[in-house]
Amino acid sequence: MVQMTGGEAVIRTLQHEGVDTVFGMPGVQIMHIYDAFHGQSDIRLMTVRHEQTTAYMADGYARVTGKPGVALVVPGPGVQNASAALGTAYSGSSPVLLLAGQVESYNVGQDRGALHEINDQQDVIRPVTKWCGRANSVAEIAPAIQEAMRQMRTGRPRPTEMEVAPDILAMTGEVSLQPPAQPELQAPDWGDIRQAAALLRGAQKPLIWAGGGVILSDAARELTALAEALGAPVATTNEGKGAIPEDHRLALGTGYYGHGASTWAAPKADVILAVGTRMTTQMTGLNAPQAPQKLIHLDADASVIGKNYPAEISVVADARLGLQALLEDVQREAPEPKWSDGELDDFRQLQAQWLEAQAPDQCEMIRRLQGVLPEETVLVSGVTNMGYWSYFAYCVRQPRTYITSSYFATLGYSFPLALGAKVGAPDRPVVTLTGDGGFMYALPELTTAVQYGINVVAVVFVDGALGASKNDQRTRFKGRMVGTELYNPSFAEVARVFGARGVRVEPERLDSAEQEALQAEAPTVIEVPVPTWAPPFQITPRQA
């Protein structure tokens, strides 16, 4: 055991756990942690301009690296400001640790009106965390942080929170560190595997749905190998983009709100294997499983299996271990392919025709971007029209290169999260697609990008509106517009004032502007004027 202050115990434990970056916003209750950063070089401390950005950046860092991202905030308003970002990480099953201050230990739970007090603040974030804890002594700090890390490395990763009072951070006490927890991966039950493999081998038209769990468990290779062994096409959720290269002959691309090439394939399937997906309500219309189709549901989180659609066979397992086991069993009696290449090509062609009919301008701009972006580019798809259409039109070939806010659909998340992704992947291009409404949420973080040299390219599509809501009023509410139109500054000029690059271009120059931005090696805002379009979820799905 070693004597140290509580603040030093926090830093020493993070170092011990392999943390190399912390995204923080200082304040009185956590200044002893800030003081402990002084004089050490193992962990970078990046100070941002809003607490929500601490957790967004931690999330982006975690999504591209697969390692826990760490955010540091004061109690009360700091925790509340960070909570939307924690919700985004929760919905995306991202390993984010929120280190939070507390009021003085003698004030906890007393409701005396202490500075930044919430009674009890863990009630605020418990719904969007996997585990919450509080250290009530210096000796408890290291075990609490290590337990938070263990929880993230066990089963389904999700955010955790650990908080500590300022007087505890100032105290000196004995600290003992245990070896970091190794990932505890859920192995499948072999009886379940044998049943699932037999059902897949005997299927006439097997189909695979791949979700974000495949990405999180680094199971893209196993998924592709199983699809090839079965001759089964693969459709993905938004979070699952990149689980199989989208130019693979068996890839159907994304299915979303009743749209996608999957809507032609899914109704023909007799057996569906869903891996690493909750099968949320975004899987509607012709994408949704229907009787008498048989569903095999494989997920590390037993609570999601069968929740939205009944499963014939449940396999509780880490996606990579479960897919490996299925592949081994299937290969013992490799089935003949049940889908022809021509049939799958027809589905993709029908989807391409639908896409060009519904969103020709969006598709053209995405093609222009795709033409200049390297394959390893990380694209953060914002809650904006171009982000929605990129689900279908942007081709992803590698895992961990496409990020969404999953079902939380958090407006304003994409730019700050992209900053964290760039910190985690400094040698790869990081591009975010955002709208004018969403970009304004985190506009001050341009200074964070400039201060730390975080060279993200933000493509801001400007229609002077909260587009999806305005289109909803234009259609469903018969043109009764109220509260959805926006006044904007010139985002290109604002970027330059902040010290970043800023350009305004027409859509036909988007590719050249993007290429220049990638070569500039500076934070860049590309402002693109566009009309207000309909998003895919406001377009009636195709009927059988």
> Which CATH fold would you assign to the domain 359-538?
Rossmann fold (3.40.50)
Pick the CATH number of 190-344 from 3.30.1490.20, 3.40.50.150, 3.40.50.1220, 3.40.50.1100: 3.40.50.1220
Strands 457-462 and 501-504, by their bridges, are unpaired
Over the stretch 188-224, which tens digit does the pLDDT of each residue have? 999 999 999 999 999 999 999 999 999 999 999 999 9
Residue found by looking up tokens 């970078």 in the block: 44
- pLDDT computed for residue 283 by the predictor: 84
CA–CA separation, 458 and 519 (whole Å): 14
Q: Which is nearest to 95 in space by CA: 27, 177, 17?
A: 17
CA–CA separation, 134 and 164 (whole Å): 6
The band of 120, judged by pLDDT with boundaries at 50, 70 and 90, is confident
Q: Which residues make Cβ contacts (< 8 Å) with residue 198, sequence separation at least 6?
A: none
For helices 360-372 and 510-520, what crossing angle results, to 10°? 30
Q: Is the pLDDT of residue 544 over 90?
A: no
For CATH 3.40.50.1220, list the domain ranges present in the chain: 190-344
Amino acid identity at 103? V
For CATH 3.40.50.970, list the domain ranges present in the chain: 2-175, 359-538
pTM for the whole thing?
0.96
Q: Which residues make Cβ contacts (< 8 Å) with residue 320, sequence separation at least 6?
A: 185, 217, 218, 219, 222
Over the stretch 486-506, which tens digit does the pLDDT of each residue have? 999 999 999 999 999 999 999
The band of 165, judged by pLDDT with boundaries at 50, 70 and 90, is very high
* Token pair recorded at residue 401: 């290169």
DSSP letters for 434-463: EEHHHHGGGTTHHHHHHHHT---EEEEEE-
Q: Which residues make Cβ contacts (< 8 Å) with residue 328, sequence separation at least 6?
A: none
CA–CA separation, 517 and 499 (whole Å): 14
Over the stretch 252-286, which tens digit does the pLDDT of each residue have? 999 999 999 999 999 999 999 999 999 887 888 99
What is the arithmetic mean of pLDDT over 130-141? 97
**Which CATH number is 2-175 given?**
3.40.50.970
- pLDDT computed for residue 335 by the predictor: 79
The band of 527, judged by pLDDT with boundaries at 50, 70 and 90, is very high
Q: Which is nearest to 454 in space by CA: 485, 432, 439, 487?
A: 432
Q: Starting at the edge strand that comes first in sequence, how are the strands of the sheet with 21-24 ordered? A: 44-47, 21-24, 69-73, 96-101, 160-164, 131-135
Over the stretch 166-197, which tens digit does the pLDDT of each residue have? 999 999 999 999 999 888 899 999 999 999 99
CA–CA separation, 231 and 234 (whole Å): 10
User: What are the CA-CA distances from residue 455 to residues 420, 467, 512, 518 (Å)?
Assistant: 11, 27, 17, 9
With H, G, I as helix, E, B as strand and everything else as coil, classify residue 210. Answer: strand
- Are 23 and 451 in contact by the 8 Å Cβ rule? The answer is no
- Are 526 and 460 in contact by the 8 Å Cβ rule? The answer is yes
* Token pair recorded at residue 467: 């587009």
